[in-house]
Structure 1
Amino acid sequence: MKIVAQVKLQPGSVYVADSLAATLRACNRAANWISEVAHERDLKRRNELHHAVYYDMKATYDLAAQASVRTIKKVVDAYATLAGNIKNGNLSEKAEGKATSKPIRFRENAAQPFDDHCLTWNVDEQTVSIWTVAGRIKGIPFVCSSEALKLLASRKGESDLVFRDGSFYLTATIDLPEPDAYEPEGWLGVDLGIVNIATTNDGAKLSGRRVNRYRRRINRLRTKLQKKGTKSAKRRLKSIRHREARFATDTNHVVSKTIVITAERTSRGVALEDLKGIRKRVTARKEQRYRLHSWAFAQLGAFVEYKAKRAGVPVVHVDPRNTSRQCSECWHTHRTNRVSQAWFACRSCGNVMNADRNGSRNIAHRADAVWQRGEVKRPRTVKQHA
């Protein structure tokens, strides 16, 4: 399995920072020119495109040989991703036509991949040596978490130079052996919602009130700044957007970690709803639409999956239809069973409970049925959970 480790560079001088910024600009300007050639001549394969652009690109943009190779590969990968999205039906007909009618464009500060010829890590001293358009710069210090530092010890392959919010980062992909999964002794159903981000069939409500208070405060501040419309207000809006995204990411990490640890401790698997298209499936009142559309549900699901893989916890996705309307006791399904956002009352058996917990119980039941029917690919090697 692949894990991404991120470190923050500390250039230490204006010269180093300017050199890194100039390198990103040069590589992305070259990538835009390569993309135009690839689009005009329909050259989407790496070898064909390399022969068509390599020497002209080196002469025009003053890139080193290996940096040129990485830039060509970046363009090829971008077109391969676009082709994959089209093949999988991820784009509407209008979006597909717009995407294929013109070359792919790269921002001037878009991430740039570097391999071991261009970038050398010194994990013990926490420094890197990196190629730039101003020459190779050695001994650039970086800071990261202790967990990321451990992961970097087994790093191989490419790393990406990223410029974000005025700082430079390096992201490295680490390929870790996937641990053996265990045979689950039940399922931890997780219901994703608007008021509570996640509710389990144990009755645990994860990140409800705190998250909603924060989002209401940010929304009020955003509305106030949008009405002002000044340059300083726009800068503040940009800062708020990034801060809210960081808050959502941190919350999703905490929630997903709690879910996986709970499942592992109780020898259960994790049962999730199929998150694809959740915003189209869920109908919400006007005051709830902002909360629905502002949360990264797909990111939360991805975090749960990769943390579960690292722990050897099985994960099953189930059909979310009618999980909020079906009784988890007698299976009676009707829209009037959901009497309010918070409460569920079955019209058939009289079962009354929290609506989110009822939904999470239904998710757990469906996961068990899917697992027993063998509709999920089981691990080849199954370990006995302690």
Structure 2
Amino acid sequence: MNLKRFFSRLTPLVSKALPFVFVVFSLVLSLLVVFTVLSRFGYMNLLGVSVVLTDSMVPSIRPRDMVFYFNAGFGVGDVVVYCVTPSHCVVHRVVDFIVLDTVNGYRTMVVTKGDSVDVVDSPVEIGRVRGRVVFSIPREIWIPIAVAFLVYTLYSLIKTPIVGYSYAVMFSVALVLVVAVYAAIPRPIELETVKPPVVNLAGVYFGPSTCSIRVRYTGELSLTNAKVEVNSVEVDYVVLYAKEVVIKPSPSLLRESFEYRKPLLITVRASLNNVGSLFGEYDLYLGGVDLDISVANSTLVIKNLNCFPITVNVSIRYLDNGDWVWSNKSYIIQGFSTLSLEPPRGALHPYAYVYWYNQGDKRWAGLPFGKS
């Protein structure tokens, strides 16, 4: 009897409170719609909602779960929402950051991946990230609430006795609901030929002790094979590691690059776990040290302290039978090698002039050697 009386008193209260709850819910939903639409288009990006359609984030986020995101700082391990188009957004976890040096300056790229997939996504600009996911609502909760809201909206619309202000309000609420569904659920993209994800290189480094070039990248996947070209000529790699490939260009290419400041154009095409691809082009300028020139026991000693060869021109001026004579000759000194020259037989007062190029600049040194 008391229970019946309780429900008899509760029913009028619920009937009176339900319209108020409906209005508050409509206002909150309207604000979420506005913020989500603005966020999708990149204007006043504060917060938004999105509904996950795939199972790529299972078990942390299931299909048809609703996520709420805020425009807040994020790092590796955070779940973020990034939008390829205003109607196509992706909810994935951050696994890496890449900084690219482009003609327009440095650009920060974000690499994401679903928890239940093995392949990382193609890098996206950090500006496309709409926010960090702060919490999610299971599908068992938000779907019944949305259905109840829709049913109540339609019921109120049907019960409207006249076509006027009330009908306009109900129609506006229904329109907001439609827009909310459009904004929250990403529209699928039409199927097309899928291109493997491209991961850009992290850098190219020259090893002065071995004359090797290391091409490195940062990412989750491993290099499985690679094709490297130097100045449009394919070069066999020495070692292929998981995160880098090591090559050794021909000594003549290195010599020309050092002497005349000709950049080495390094082009790399590689596979990542046989599911993605890596491509990059880098200009590499080769540095080195000058020749070490000395005289020991009347012998001209020219040392090449670099791993690559260097062209050297030696002009010797000496006195022969009372006349001054010039002797000119060019040599190529191999890497980490020494060239020793004795003065011409019978030469008096020999003086050597040694010329070579370093980064396009002509260098020289002169010193006496031999018998005076």
Q: For CA contacts below 8 A with separation 6 or more, give which structure has more relative contact order.
A: 1
TM-score normalised to structure 2 length:
0.22
Which one has a larger percent strand, Structure 1 or Structure 2? 2
Which one has a larger percent helix, Structure 1 or Structure 2? 1
Larger Rg over CA atoms = 2
TM-score normalised to structure 1 length:
0.21
